[in-house]
Amino acid sequence: MRSLPSLVIEPLVRAALLEDLGRAGDVTTDSIFDADDVSTVQLVVRDPGVVAGVDCALLAWRLVDPSITVSVAKPDGSRVVPGDVIATITGHTRGLLTGERVALNFLGHLSGVATGTARIADAIAHTSAHVADTRKTIPGLRALQKHAVRCGGGQNHRFGLDDAVLIKDNHIAAAGSVSEAVRRVRENIGHLVKVEVEVDNLEQLRELVTLPVDAVLLDNMGPDLLRQAVAIVDGRLITEASGRITPEAAVPIAEAGVDLISVGWLTHSAKVLDIGLDFVS
């Protein structure tokens, strides 16, 4: 799994450390341990899942103590079970404890995103559909969360408002019709920009397949309606299903023949993967 550039993650990790250190630093740890005390710790998995965010965790410690040494056993994208050691870190005890919470916050959350993604990816693996994320990300963490989705076997939807067109229901309502919204978009975008349109009924879809668009977002449709929609599209557009999709609901939706299933909770409501920091010496 390709890592994110340090240039992307460093400002986020640094900001988290500054928030935690406050105005006086770690008064608890600094009061208990001498500056030259050295320890070895391990990141140990408590629940089964998929790892993501290892680089963020290690950077948290490196920013506090650049002299740490690290051995990574389970890099991003690894499947893990309880008891697995993700990494072993040796460094000054003060730095290890000061950076602990920030490191675990990033690692636990991003691994939770990857694990949730993997649950759906595994459930629909027998189909041709793929699970994708959305823009429903925690502000400031989009690049990290979308990386975690890739670690879990998912695909990324657009990263922001500027890299693709997605005409949604309110755009259509304000423009007056699907056709008018698409016409205005095509007059104002470059030839490399993809266009997707959200529809919530088959009448809109029948209109859409006659227009110059690349993909359709089939919103809040059940499996039976999705099968009809896929038949209407007949391979002319990329089909994407969305709307409160659980791992269990994803299976019949994928079996309806859509190309993508986009899931907002992967990023906005992911359950943290339980990972602990254990002292070895």
- Which positions are annotated as active-site residues? 101, 136, 168, 198, 219
275: enclosing H helix or E strand: strand 275-279
DSSP three-state, residue 259: coil
Distance from the first to the final alpha carbon of the chain: 31
Cβ neighbors of 206 (< 8 A, separation 6 or more) are 232
196: enclosing H helix or E strand: strand 195-199
Beta strands at 165-167 and 215-219: parallel, antiparallel or unpaired: unpaired
Q: Are the C-beta atoms of residues 172 and 135 closer than 8 Å to each other?
A: no
Written in H, E and C, the secondary structure of 28-83 is HHHHHCCCCCEEEEEEEECCCEECCCHHHHHHHHHHHCCCCEEEECCCCCCEECCC
